[in-house]
Amino acid sequence: MPDVAGTHKSVAPIAQRLDAVESVLADRGLQPAEFVVEATRLVEERWVPENGARIVARAWTDPAFRARLLANGRAAAAELGFELPRHHRHLVFLEDTERVHNVICCTLCSCTAFTLIGLPPDWYKDFDYRARVVRESRTVLKEMGLDLPPEVEIRVWDTTADTRYVVLPLRPAGTEGWSEERLASLVTKDSMIGVARIAAPAA
Amino acid sequence: MDGIHDLGGRQGFGRIRHSPNAGPFHAEWEKRANALYGLAVRVGLLNMDEYRHAIERMAPRHYLSASYYERSLTGLATLLVEKGLVTRDELERLAGGAFPLASPSAPGRGNVVDAPRFRVGDRVLVRDEHVAGHVRMPSYIRGKRGVVVGESPPYPFPDAHAHGVAADDEPTYDVRFAAAELWPNGADDAFVHVAVFRSYLVPAP
């Protein structure tokens, strides 16, 4: 590893730096090893995109819920038992239509509604996405496989404060009469970030 | 600060390494890094604005070469040293080598006095300001005009909250900018929305 600190010592491997920080926290009686287990369980089992998918599927099937969701995302998510961290005081669902496509990002770091769509994927935190999606939105979406018709207006949302945004994607054609549960199975993390539309199911 | 983290609109970057349904972690150590900063926030050793600012203060060469979770660990370690929980020497002894940390912070600031309130539909101008400490105004909107499309409840003011400066909470406004206003003749046609703290805005003349 390069000597980024400008010292003559070589930089300690990342695992040893982690051990050092963990031992500082352990010396304060904070039980970091136990917390790693708890935090990882939250990430892998509780904060999963299936949460957001349930909200989206309910909005697709229940117009009154959809109206409440668009008016106050936090309260509507809470109706289905989904809570946000206290500091995410405001949740905005962004309604896609045939003429409007929404996409979220965080140019300054990595902010997302992680309790609803899961922790952000690696590419969302990469410099390429953060730098380019606000300025080259249509080009970036096309590169990622979403070639929007030219008449579709693109709305990019940069998560620069603690308000959180989630895209409410278009319900795909060919799903008339589907149950909420079956609809939810179509909804992906990418579609709630806004870099994909949900494909119609194969006939 | 006009730091290296402020990437929106920077040119020269490449294709997104997009992998559908990518998981949040790629290595076991990343799970630990993710948990340790979360623990520090939970027990009140630091707040999210301090944490974000510590990452922003990393030397640009280090910031750009480090992975996401290495940046997270560096921000956490920097704050543990700055808050006196451990010395840098002790941290390096524990790590068995050099432990690069972020650069020191400039002072923070309080709310702008008499910042105006806005309503949805109001036309606004982002103040042409250069803030030395933490700020959540991406540089690509500085001095630009937009329209308010939403308002949040009050949040801690990051410019103060990252520095232990007392300040009132204030709302953010979701402001819609035309990409052509932000980068004339240099952007794909779109609207770009940014959550802008009240202190960063004035009415558009």
Helix axes B68-82, B88-95, angle to 10 degrees: 140
**Which residues between 45 and 104 in chain B have a beta carbon less than 8 angstroms from any beta carbon of chain A?**
48, 52, 55-56, 59, 61-62, 64-65, 68, 70, 73, 76-77, 80, 85-86, 91-92, 94-101
Candidates A18, A137, A140; nearest CB to B32: A18
Q: Which two tokens stand for residue B157?
A: 């003011």
Those residues whose C-beta lies under 8 Å from the C-beta of residue B56, and which sit 6 or more positions away, are A108, B1, B3, B4, B5, B102, B134
- ipTM of predicted assembly, 2 dp: 0.97
Taking CB atoms and an 8 Å limit, are A157 and B193 in contact across chains?
A: yes
Mutate to test the interface with A, among B78, B80, B188, B196 (most CBs of A within 10 A): B188
What letter represents residue A28's amino acid? R
Q: Which of B141, B156, B152, B150 is nearest to B192 (CA)?
A: B141
CA distances from A73 to A39, A67, A95, A129, A171 (A): 25, 10, 12, 26, 19
Q: Report pTM.
A: 0.96
Per-residue pLDDT of chain B (205 residues; tens, 9 = 90+): 999 999 999 999 999 999 876 778 999 999 999 999 999 999 999 999 999 999 999 999 999 999 999 999 999 999 999 999 999 999 999 999 999 999 999 999 999 998 899 999 999 999 999 999 999 999 999 999 999 999 999 999 999 999 999 999 999 999 999 999 999 999 999 999 999 999 999 999 9
User: Is B188 in the A-facing interface, judged by CB distances under 8 Å?
Assistant: yes
Per-residue pLDDT of chain A (203 residues; tens, 9 = 90+): 444 555 568 999 999 999 999 999 999 999 999 999 999 999 999 999 999 999 999 999 999 999 999 999 999 999 999 989 888 999 999 999 999 999 999 999 999 999 999 999 999 999 999 999 999 999 999 999 999 999 999 999 999 999 999 999 999 999 999 999 999 999 999 999 999 999 888 76
Residue in chain B closest to A158 (alpha carbons) equals B194
- Per the listing, tokens 């006095």 go with B113
The answer to whether B49 and B135 are in contact (CB under 8 A) is: no
Residue in chain B closest to A29 (alpha carbons) equals B43
Chain B residues closer than 8 Å to A147 by CB: none
CA distance B150 to A62: 24
CA distance B49 to chain A (A): 10
Q: Which two tokens stand for residue B134?
A: 């933490």
What values do phi and psi take at B155, rounded to 5?
-120, 160
The answer to whether A57 and A82 are in contact (CB under 8 A) is: no
CA distance A113 to A165: 7
Q: Is B192 helix (H, G, I), strand (E, B) or coil?
A: strand
Task: Spell B106-125 as b/e; 16+ CB within 10 A means b.
Answer: eebbebbeebeebeeebebb
Taking CB atoms and an 8 Å limit, are B189 and A136 in contact across chains?
A: no
Strand partners, B149: none
CA distance A144 to A9: 42
Q: Quickly count helices (H) and strands (E) in chain B.
A: 7, 5
